[in-house]
Structure 1
Amino acid sequence: MTDPQPAGWSGIGGDGWADLAAIRVRLEAGADPDAGVYAFGGHDGRPLHFAAEWGSPETVTELARHVADVDADFDDRTALWTAVFAHRPDNARALVAAGADPWRPMMAGWSPGRLALAGPTPGLFPLPAGHPGLTTDETAKATAARRLIAALADIGDDYMGVACVAALTATEAARRLEAQSADTAAIEAALASDPWADPDDHLGIVGVTDVPGGCVITQPWGYVPSTSEVTVPLSVGTVCYSLFANPKSGTQGLVSRAGAIEDSDTHPGGGDAGGHLTADEILTEYLYQGEAVAYVCAMAGLQLPDARAVAGPPDLWLRLPERDR
């Protein structure tokens, strides 16, 4: 099989894009800085795009000196867009210094400069005279995202299952799941020792908590809140966004709406900003990348004032009906 990587860049990835000496060696050996499709870790791009996301200002500057066009795009985005989206303001500044245009319109009308206005460094680029900046709605979404992410900061989510349901109370959620109240003290004592000591028993236990906008179902040690067993009945007449934080294969999501699965094997908080997304979807992906739990809460329209609904203890511990899981 032919190696899909152009000669000269094969084998480099991740932190390797921050190694200025290594980048210079490859360039001096004839590696093409304008290589078309470059495969790395299952991703495609150009060398400058990879450096913009994983490299350093020095490697970005070095590659920018050699490319034919610092604003050459790949998959509808320039290297500057990539740096902004990846929250790499240092690399973004290096690209602008090399001639990249922050205000060049790209996906769904967004430019790197306008997108930066919604992020953690809104002053990254001077706003040109007469530029409209963010809309009132976009500003509100950015503010809400910062507030929600801060509220959920430092939660440990490995092995955690979470389901966020719009416009549904904890009491109604229990009814729809045909669940019974569990003995809170006994459950918490058992789970404090080893939740996997009896996985068949503990996989039937979930917590539920009322929050502004709906309710949150959690299982700190398992995937059950992200299964159709839970999400489909909860989504009747509404919507349920859920996830399982699988430490082996990454966060896996499920979306149920109106009593049916709408989308499965999603990657909440994965930061997908491809050109197939709408303007609002691009903003959401940017705001919540790397924040999977906050993402599913936001998509369900929940406004958590703090982390208790996710980190516990829940309002109620529930035992689900016996089923084959």
Structure 2
Amino acid sequence: MTRRLDAGADPESFGVGGSRPLHRAALFGSPEVVGELARRVPDVDALENGTTALWDATVAGRTENARALAAAGADPEWIGHGGWTPARLSLAGPEPGLFTPTGGRPELLGPPGAQPDPLDPPGHRPRLTDAERAVADEGRRLVAALGDFHYDGLGLASAAGIDAEEAIRRLEATPADRELMASVVADPLDHDMDDILRLVGVTTVPGGCVVTQPWGYGPSMPGIHTRLSTGTVSYGLYANPKSGNQGSIHRDGVCEGWDLHPGGGPYAGETPEQVLFSYVYAHHAVAYCLAYADLRPTDARAVLGPPDHWVELPDRDYWAT
């Protein structure tokens, strides 16, 4: 890379679309590449798609690259989505001590209108509010409790405030055939998808229940959520191996959001609360869906099985709401 830059390659343009190399390196490169590019660009805080390279590295959890950018002069106090700065947002991340405090910008010290703390004067350090810290702490707990697992092809419904028995009643489901379920669990690919799409697991967890199908999109169909979400909220997920995670929100039987991207990170236009939530669960789509419905499982059993109940859904059109 250094040879190409020395030979005249443009450090400000990458590829046909003119993407900024520093932003790409912040997400996918090494600290050494980030540092070299940062040294050569006229503005280390130049924007791409409305964010700086430092913001992108922080949100993506590339803490080594974020440090390299900060060392090169990138501003941890730049105000990004929802009024958050990289410095304050990082306090909710995997390395709360990522940035050394620099200055006393008010936005680092709490939400707008917050009163100064005489024991923590302006300019001392950024901090989270108690509510923000609670979101961060629960995110760390939930992500750790679920652990790492392969979930491509998974279908999931997270319903708040109802247990497995109530979910089964709302769905009018009946117990699944045990021999069939044993065969399906052993090798779902040995069965025609249409024949096993109405077989789902249902499990009670703290805060509500989870409907799961490790091999298919069944629990993400809208007809499931119009029934589950009566008087409450449900979040659906299909981890589509072809196109990525697809999410949906239903509240009291009405769809509020479709074709969402849970775990994709903060977006422009989100509220401060949404930005924090998206950051805490970035790259953790399953945890995002569970947390959205305020479910608090202590392990991944409700998602991966064995569930409390294997049931068969009635034969109906679940794409009609």
Same fold (TM over 0.5): yes
Can you give the 5+ residue segments of structure 1 that lack an aligned partner in the other structure? 1-20
Amino acid at match of 1:75: N
Per the alignment, residue 16 of structure 1 pairs with none
Contact 2:199-2:312 at 8 Å conserved across structures:
yes
SS at structure 2 position matched to 1:117:
helix
1:214 deviates by: 0.6
CA distance in structure 1 between the partners assigned to 2:297 and 2:19 by the alignment: 37
1:209 deviates by: 0.5
CA distance in structure 1 between the partners assigned to 2:164 and 2:72 by the alignment: 55
Per the alignment, residue 52 of structure 1 pairs with 26
Equivalent positions of 1:155-170 (< 5 A) are 155-170=149-164
1:132 deviates by: 4.3
Residue-pair matches, total? 298
CA RMSD in angstroms comes to 2.0
Choose which of 71, 79, 100 in structure 2 pairs with 1:97: 71
CA distance in structure 1 between the partners assigned to 2:316 and 2:37 by the alignment: 57
Choose which of 304, 308, 319 in structure 1 pairs with 2:312: 319
- Pair 1:193–1:85, CA change in 2 (3 A): closer
Per the alignment, residue 281 of structure 2 pairs with 288
Q: Deviations over 1:69-106 (max 9, x none)?
A: 11222233211111111111111111111111212323
Contact 1:196-1:202 at 8 Å conserved across structures:
no
Amino acid at match of 2:63: P
Amino acid at match of 2:304: A
SS at structure 2 position matched to 1:64:
helix
Amino acid at match of 1:240: S
Q: Deviations over 1:242-263 (max 9, x none)?
A: 1111212211112111102111
Q: Deviations over 1:145-169 (max 9, x none)?
A: 0110111112331211110001112
- Pair 1:194–1:116, CA change in 2 (3 A): closer
Per the alignment, residue 31 of structure 1 pairs with 9
Contact 1:76-1:274 at 8 Å conserved across structures:
no
Normalised TM-score (structure 2): 0.87
Per the alignment, residue 89 of structure 2 pairs with 115
1:278 deviates by: 1.3
- Pair 1:323–1:34, CA change in 2 (3 A): same
Contact 1:160-1:220 at 8 Å conserved across structures:
yes
CA distance in structure 1 between the partners assigned to 2:280 and 2:234 by the alignment: 20
Amino acid at match of 2:32: E
Equivalent positions of 1:10-29 (< 5 A) are 21=1, 24-29=2-7
Per the alignment, residue 210 of structure 1 pairs with 204
CA distance in structure 2 between the partners assigned to 1:69 and 1:137 by the alignment: 35
Amino acid at match of 1:166: A
- Pair 1:270–1:39, CA change in 2 (3 A): farther
SS at structure 1 position matched to 2:273:
helix
1:324 deviates by: 5.2
Per the alignment, residue 179 of structure 1 pairs with 173
Larger mean CA deviation between 120-129 and 156-165 belongs to 120-129
CA distance in structure 2 between the partners assigned to 1:71 and 1:161 by the alignment: 40
Per the alignment, residue 248 of structure 1 pairs with 242
- Pair 1:186–1:108, CA change in 2 (3 A): closer
Can you give the 5+ residue segments of structure 2 that lack an aligned partner in the other structure? 103-122
SS at structure 2 position matched to 1:165:
strand
Contact 1:75-1:275 at 8 Å conserved across structures:
no
Contact 1:164-1:214 at 8 Å conserved across structures:
yes
Contact 1:164-1:215 at 8 Å conserved across structures:
yes
CA distance in structure 1 between the partners assigned to 2:250 and 2:16 by the alignment: 34
Contact 2:167-2:228 at 8 Å conserved across structures:
yes
Q: Deviations over 1:280-301 (max 9, x none)?
A: 1111111111111100000011
Amino acid at match of 1:305: T
Per the alignment, residue 229 of structure 1 pairs with 223
1:309 deviates by: 0.7
